[in-house]
Amino acid sequence: MPPHEDHTPRWNIIDKLYNKIDKTLDKAFVDNKCSFIEVEIVILMVKEKLQQQKHELYTLYMSQREKDEGTPSKDDKESKDAPKNLYG
């Protein structure tokens, strides 16, 4: 995907997904006689799953970025250490 399209939402897909979720919620209210609190709990669970997926993707991105940049050399690590007399 070109960089200028990275953050452009695909509204056709968003609309399809929303319609599916909306139909499922309507069916749950009618068929299963769900309460609002039950639906809220389901939505909370879905939000948590999305957060986990974002965290996993971010972790993969960071590990790939470290591989691409290479691991820091011993000299780089030593230069980032605190001075010996800093803590006492």
- Determine the structural domain holding residue 36 and report its residue range: 10-66
- Examine the pLDDT at 4 and tell me if it is beyond 80: no
**Contact assessment for residue 22 and residue 16, using Cβ atoms and an 8 Å cutoff:** no
Residue 44 lies in a domain: yes
Residue 77 lies in a domain: no
- Quote the number of domains for the chain: 1
What's the predicted TM-score (pTM) here?
0.58
Residue 15: per-residue pLDDT = 97
Q: Greater confidence, 33 or 87?
A: 33
Residue 75 lies in a domain: no
Residue 78 lies in a domain: no
Cα 81 versus chain centre, distance: 32
Using alpha carbons, list the distances in angstroms from residue 66 to 8, 40, 59, 71: 27, 39, 11, 7
**Contact assessment for residue 22 and residue 8, using Cβ atoms and an 8 Å cutoff:** no
What are the pLDDT digits (tens) for 22-53? 999 999 889 999 999 999 999 999 999 999 99
Residue 60 lies in a domain: yes
